[in-house]
Structure 1
Amino acid sequence: MASSNLPRGERTPKDLQGLLRFCVEATKNDDQTSESRFEKMPEEKRKWLEEALHEMTVNPIERMKICLSLLGMEDEEEDLDKKIAALDELHDWCEFIDFAIDFHKIGGFSVLHYLLHHDEPELRWKGLELIAALVQNNPYCQKALLEEPNLFKEILLILDTDSDATVRTKALLATSCLTRDFPEAQKVFVDSDGFSITLRAMQSNVEKLKIKAAFMLSSFVADKPEYKNLLCDMGMIDQLIGHLGEEHSSFHEHLLSAILTIGQDFSRGVKEFRRPELALEQTLLQKQRDLAGKEEFMEELQHATELLRLMKENQSEDQEVAR
């Protein structure tokens, strides 16, 4: 990627580990059983190695600046491939925390609004993928992104309303990475009705989005159990349990995990589970019968069994208090 043309789909080593992986891939078809011997390296392999070694000397900041300049090209249709390749390279650099911070310091965040509002869905979802790489486990970039005017709210709006399934899924990824272990972003998420947006994502017809939304809800509540009362107040438990009545899919495993996470160490939640009109106990007993002996559904069965145990245990405690 030394050339500013940035051929789409190519990846070049950026460190010694990447170079080693590159060399292994380049020689993986060699006969490993023959006796080792020195011989002249084929011209094609020599060229590959030279290019890889050259890339080891590339200045990451200069490369990121070149990528940003490519994203600013005005001829959208003609330069779409170059823009996508530029985003791919920026994503690769920004997976490293130090380079992600450098990306912000050179003004890279200014391109994010442009990407999120682009007419081309691939640029939107790659922009969101870049945001996820920037903020994942990176407190500096989490704070910096939250300080960009309305950027997080734009991400949430995209998650809720974009017409492209991949764009919505990547918006969920960016939201998850931004809010993880970052209370300031978690507060903005809650204040922006983020739980309702997450619930609507679980009501979509996109299985991947539904699963990831349930997983994020589970992780969020596990990290911030103080929000469990809010979920009860907004009727989230009724909605989640209602989805268990839909046709069975891999989504149910993650849905049960989210319900279980809400109920753990939260007696109000378990009391909600036991409301007769929700018929959760009957649903779980039926799941035990349907999933018994099916190894591919073992985790879902475990979640159902643990939920039943939690409901019965809580009921026994309530009866003891009543006596």
Structure 2
Amino acid sequence: MAGDAPNWEGLLKWSLAHSDGTRPNRNLSDDDRKWFMEAMQAQSIDVVKRMKEITLVMQTPEQVLEAQGVTPADIEDLLDELQEHVESIDMANDLHSIGGLVPLLGYLKNSHANIRAKAAEVVTTIVQNNPKSQQLVMEANGLEYLFSLFTSDPDVTVRTKALGAISSLIRDNKPGITAFRLANGYAGLRDALGTESVRFQRKALNLISFLLRENSSDCNIISDLGFPRIMVHLASSEDLEVREAALRGLLELAREKTGDAKVTLAAEDEKLKQLLEERIKGISLMSPEDLGAAREERQLVDSLWNACYNEPSSLREKGLLVLPGEDAPPDVASKHFEPALRAFAPNPADKKPSTEKKEAPPLLLGAGPPPEAANGQGSSSAREDANGRLQ
């Protein structure tokens, strides 16, 4: 109920009255301290209570929800709200302790594709840069559920969301990486690259680059599976992000100097050289605006040419590697390559903060209206960018 919500207006007035910048801070009275702590703690208490209510709904059998008029769209709204709450790392870790993690993973098997996709999104938020929640999801067989969606779900959106969740789950998680490899994950990634979904291709390529950086010996595995030929093809995609991600993967292979990866990439040399020449020609014809957007692609093309043929590309001669106003070659995703390239600073202007906020939906079950959901402190929404936040 509204009367149970924290008195934020009163808290603001109190804060301004006690910290106007014109006088030194004074000691708080016991009553002031008690009131302040209660106001601050009310936020977390309300969020936990709301998460428990959502957990109760997730634990309710589907047929019971249907009998009460609860629709799949209502469930999606609840999952949207839950995702906002678990953006706080503390709340993400608390979801298991209040009994919400297992029923959330159960929604990965829901008969409605939109619910499966949304559940995978919530899992992504929970495990991003969060080792504790990664472990909890692994122990609850979450990777197995996600892998099944990734490789066999009939809905490509669900498969894409599941792959995004897998990418966040196994990042900096050695047991997760091992489990993914043992489950023949690379074969699933190869199938993803063969789809027509640009988003699916992006996520698969980004995860491939991450896995190769973690274990360069995997270059031989992906070479045996025919990845070089596929990546050469995707490097001429009309989608800029797909082109860049494919070029990153090829660069990883080019820098692996031994083993089957080098042999396989050499077998693609004619097609690869033709591809790079075409990309150089395409870059040469770009407008100044498009050249600015293709900063990373320009660097990748030059780096790949240099790695394969031991000489700079013609982009340098044409003055297209470093444009006027660019002090140095752009950082080619500093996490991806050698220390020498990591010295270049990334461009922070490429990121735009999101300010969009959604209202909490009403409680679906229960005798009366729910307390208003309050926002949790701290956000994990900025915890990742992986190759990009792997899209």
CA deviations 1:166-201 (Å, max 9, x no partner) are 212211110110010000000110011111111211
1:120-159 maps to which residues of 2 (within 5 A)?
120-149=112-141, 151-159=142-150
1:76-155 maps to which residues of 2 (within 5 A)?
76=66, 78-80=69-71, 81-149=73-141, 151-155=142-146
Residue in 1 that maps onto 2:238: 248
Residue 189 of structure 1: SS of its match in structure 2? Answer: helix
Residue 304 of structure 1: SS of its match in structure 2? Answer: helix
Residue in 2 that maps onto 1:280: 272
Letter in 2 for 1:144: L
Counterpart Cα distance in 1 of 2:268 and 2:221: 22
Contact 2:235 2:244 in 1 (8 A): no
Greater fraction of residues in helix: 1
Residue 225 of structure 1: SS of its match in structure 2? Answer: coil
Counterpart Cα distance in 2 of 1:155 and 1:173: 10
Give the drift of 1:57: 6.0
Contact 2:120 2:162 in 1 (8 A): yes
Counterpart Cα distance in 1 of 2:44 and 2:166: 34
Give the drift of 1:265: 4.4
Q: 1:84 to 1:177 in 2, by over 3 A?
A: same
Contact 1:270 1:310 in 2 (8 A): no
More displaced, 287-296 or 90-99? 287-296
Contact 1:253 1:303 in 2 (8 A): yes
Residue in 2 that maps onto 1:62: 49
Q: TM-score, normalised by structure 2?
A: 0.62
Residue in 2 that maps onto 1:191: 182
Q: 1:137 to 1:105 in 2, by over 3 A?
A: same
Q: 1:103 to 1:54 in 2, by over 3 A?
A: closer
Q: TM-score, normalised by structure 1?
A: 0.74
Contact 2:253 2:265 in 1 (8 A): no
Q: Which of 251, 262, 266 is matched with 2:253 structurally?
A: 262
Counterpart Cα distance in 2 of 1:277 and 1:302: 20
Residue in 2 that maps onto 1:8: none
Counterpart Cα distance in 2 of 1:312 and 1:277: 10
CA RMSD of aligned residues (A): 2.9
Percent identity of paired positions between Structure 1 and Structure 2: 24
Counterpart Cα distance in 1 of 2:268 and 2:254: 17
Letter in 1 for 2:180: F
Contact 1:67 1:90 in 2 (8 A): yes
Counterpart Cα distance in 2 of 1:162 and 1:105: 30
Q: Which consecutive segments of 4 or more residues in structure 1 shift more than 6 A?
A: 52-55
Contact 2:127 2:169 in 1 (8 A): yes
Give the drift of 1:54: 11
| Aligned residue-pair number | 268
Give the drift of 1:256: 1.0
Counterpart Cα distance in 2 of 1:75 and 1:278: 60
Give the drift of 1:308: 1.1
Residue 122 of structure 1: SS of its match in structure 2? Answer: helix
Counterpart Cα distance in 2 of 1:238 and 1:176: 23
CA deviations 1:18-67 (Å, max 9, x no partner) are x99xxxxxxxxxxxxxxxxxxxxxxxxxxxxxxx9997364332211100
Residue segments in structure 1 that go unaligned for 5+ positions in a row: 4-12, 21-51, 315-323
Give the drift of 1:285: 1.4
